[in-house]
């Protein structure tokens, strides 16, 4: 079973993931312009893109635990997943900047004054060095530093989930589920005695 | 005391034809005939939002937290027969049938700006009667200082009640002078039709100078009290939602700015507009709050 999954995963070319991400984004804009996202398409776009980005980050975080605990190997696509997540976050940010808030003073005031936006922006800024070093040359040149640098993903994931939790009004379950799943995936990486025995 | 206020938002009467005239076709038509002298006027006096906008983009958490959830789920709500219990400090407490209330009320059209606390807004042509007329009908006693309202809560008809986003049933309240103000209405229709279930059928409060969540939907109980009644969002997050909840561009929500808003219906490339003090009804209602600290009593 696991072998079959791994074989089919290997057969999927990674460029398909990039293509799907771009196609999905274009499709969302098309829906937004033609009424498919409802009466308030700007907010709908922000939400859709934000949630998709968080899902991609979560899948990216799951790659290592899946291999360690279930021998399912998605490592070949991890870069495509990560870069796609960055792309969707970038579009999410651009929609907020240019379609939603629009003026510089409002943008600046929001980044400084609104904790959930400060947190979201911090997450985006932390993604920048990861996106820039997502190429073979950087991996080779940076070596151990690259591996340490890309642990920033953990912080990015937590910031993204907290950003989502903070936007919700009232007591809403879904954002908390994202936060819990991400926290769980990070806990799996700790060398806890409990987990070590299970591996053995 | 009906007809104490004259619409100021639309130069023309809102006729049922508007329902069938999509806002975008209307705008396209205007653009095509840009030379028309009516154009400038059309821009300064906003057209009411389309029937589709008003009935598809709703916050009614008893039917789900998504903006489209109420339109999808509200059909399960039984709105006829409907009874409103009016009690507390009134001369004639009792269970009032919706139809009996309607027989005694004068229905008028009120075109109001509607500003959600989430920083979006619409213009809605409501049909309804002044809350003051209903309160006069039951006789408000001298000791009454506040009016409390309660929304219906039927788990079998309202799927959103399963999650405890808020403490159900939804409750709201007004100070008595706010409740008696000519702008405060009980809406029973939109665009001359019965009010749709997702908009709070069969009767809901509309207080146009306050954030939308004060305008409680599908009311089953009205209680006159001498104490400030609890209100749902205030109970859930006191620092974010006050009892008064007057639209005020200078008092931000702790998580976002209230200085500007997005008018629904402008599409993907619309700009934000400045939020007006008391949602543009400053002249009419500012006197209710003179000498009050509007930051403290937000």
Crossing angle, helix A173-187 and helix A41-70, to 10 degrees? 30
Is B220 exposed, middle or buried, given 0-12, 13-18 or 19+ CB atoms closer than 10 A? middle
Cβ <8 Å between A113 and B264: no
pLDDT band at B26; cut points 50, 70, 90: very low
> Over the stretch A173-185, which tens digit does the pLDDT of each residue have?
999 999 999 999 9
What is the CATH class of B11-289?
A: alpha beta
Cβ <8 Å between B120 and A40: yes
pLDDT band at A193; cut points 50, 70, 90: low
Q: Is residue B34's pLDDT more than 70?
A: no
Lowest mean pLDDT among A29-43, B26-40, B270-284: B26-40
Domain tally for chain A? Answer: 1
Out of A33, A115, A170, name the one closest to residue B236 (CB): A170
Interface of A with B in 133-172 (CB under 8 A): 166-167, 169-172
Q: What is the pLDDT of residue B23?
A: 46
Q: What is the pLDDT of residue A195?
A: 54
Average pLDDT of the segment spanning A146-152: 96
Q: Where are the domains of chain B?
A: 11-289
Shortest distance between the Cα of A25 and any Cα of chain B, in A, equals: 14
> Over the stretch A50-69, which tens digit does the pLDDT of each residue have?
999 999 999 999 999 999 99
Shortest distance between the Cα of A70 and any Cα of chain B, in A, equals: 34
Range of the domain at A155: 2-199
- The DSSP secondary-structure symbol of B195 reads P
Cβ <8 Å between A116 and B255: yes
Cβ <8 Å between B255 and A166: yes
Mutation for A interface: B268, B269, B272, B275, most A CBs within 10 A: B268
- Number of Cβ within 10 Å of residue A155's Cβ equals 14
Q: Residues of B with CB below 8 A from A33's CB? A: 267-268
Q: Is residue B63's pLDDT more than 60?
A: yes
In this structure, is the dihedral angle defined by the CA atoms of residues B41, B246, A109 and A51, taken in order, positive or negative? negative
Out of A39, A42, A106, name the one closest to residue B57 (CB): A39
Q: Is residue B85's pLDDT more than 80?
A: yes
Cβ <8 Å between B163 and A172: yes
Cβ <8 Å between B268 and A167: no
Q: Residues of B with CB below 8 A from A41's CB? A: 267-268
Chain A CA closest to residue B263: A40
Q: Residues of A with CB below 8 A from B236's CB? A: 170-171
Out of B65, B165, B271, name the one closest to residue A102 (CB): B271
> Over the stretch B233-244, which tens digit does the pLDDT of each residue have?
999 999 999 999
Q: Residues of A with CB below 8 A from B270's CB? A: 42
Interface residue A110 vs chain B (CB under 8 A): yes
pLDDT band at B8; cut points 50, 70, 90: confident
Phi-psi region at A135: left, alpha or beta (left = phi > 0; alpha = psi -120 to 50): beta
Q: What is the pLDDT of residue A194?
A: 61
φ and ψ of B77, to 5 deg: -75, 130
Q: Is residue B246's pLDDT more than 90?
A: yes
Shortest distance between the Cα of B263 and any Cα of chain A, in A, equals: 9
Q: Residues of A with CB below 8 A from B120's CB? A: 40, 43
**pTM of the predicted structure, to 2 decimals:** 0.88
Interface residue B60 vs chain A (CB under 8 A): no
Say whether B87 sits in a helix, a strand or coil: strand
Q: Give percent of chain B with pLDDT exceeding 70.
A: 88
């Amino acid at each position: 079973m696991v072998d079959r999954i791994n074989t089919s995963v290997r057969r999927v070319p990674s460029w398909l993931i990039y293509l799907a991400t771009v196609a999905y984004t274009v499709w969302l804009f098309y829906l937004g312009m033609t009424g498919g996202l409802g009466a308030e398409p700007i907010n709908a776009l922000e939400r859709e893109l934000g949630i998709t980005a968080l899902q991609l980050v979560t899948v990216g975080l799951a790659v290592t635990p899946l291999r360690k605990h279930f021998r399912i190997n998605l490592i070949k696509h991890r870069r495509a997943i990560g870069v796609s997540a960055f792309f969707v976050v970038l579009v999410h940010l651009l929609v907020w900047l240019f379609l939603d808030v629009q003026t510089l003073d409002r943008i600046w005031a929001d980044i400084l004054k609104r904790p959930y936006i400060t947190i979201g922006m911090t997450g985006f800024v932390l993604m920048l060095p990861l996106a820039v070093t997502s190429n073979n040359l950087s991996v080779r040149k940076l070596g151990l530093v690259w591996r340490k640098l890309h642990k920033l993903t953990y912080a990015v994931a937590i910031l993204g989930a907290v950003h989502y939790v903070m936007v919700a009004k009232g007591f809403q379950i879904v954002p908390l589920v994202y936060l819990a799943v991400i926290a769980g995936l990070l806990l799996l990486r700790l060398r806890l005695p409990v987990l070590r025995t299970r591996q053995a | 005391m009906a007809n104490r206020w004259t619409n100021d938002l639309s130069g023309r009467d809102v006729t049922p034809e508007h329902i069938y005239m999509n806002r975008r076709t209307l705008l396209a038509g205007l653009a095509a005939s840009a030379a028309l002298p009516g154009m400038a006027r059309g821009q300064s006096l906003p057209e009411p939002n389309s029937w589709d906008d008003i009935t598809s983009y709703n916050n009614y958490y008893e039917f789900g937290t998504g903006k489209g959830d109420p339109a999808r789920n509200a059909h399960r709500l039984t709105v006829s027969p409907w009874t409103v219990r009016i009690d507390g400090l009134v001369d004639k407490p009792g269970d009032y049938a919706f139809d009996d209330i309607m027989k005694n009320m004068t229905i008028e059209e009120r075109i109001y700006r509607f500003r959600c606390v989430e920083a979006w807004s619409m213009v809605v042509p409501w049909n309804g009667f002044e809350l003051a007329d209903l309160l006069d009908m039951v006789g408000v006693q001298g000791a009454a200082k506040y009016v409390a309202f309660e929304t219906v809560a039927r788990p079998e008809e309202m799927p959103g009640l399963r999650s405890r986003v808020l403490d159900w049933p939804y409750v709201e309240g007004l100070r008595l002078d706010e409740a008696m103000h000519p702008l405060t209405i009980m809406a029973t229709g939109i665009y001359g039709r019965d009010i749709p279930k997702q908009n709070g059928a069969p009767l809901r409060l509309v207080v146009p100078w306050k954030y939308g969540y004060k305008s409680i939907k599908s009311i089953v109980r009205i209680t006159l009290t001498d104490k400030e009644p609890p209100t749902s969002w205030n109970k859930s997050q006191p620092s974010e939602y006050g009892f008064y909840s007057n639209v005020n561009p200078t008092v931000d929500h702790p998580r976002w700015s209230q200085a500007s808003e997005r008018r629904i219906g402008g599409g993907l490339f619309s700009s934000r507009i400045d939020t007006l003090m008391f949602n543009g009804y400053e002249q009419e209602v500012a006197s209710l709050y003179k000498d009050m600290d509007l930051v403290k009593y937000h």
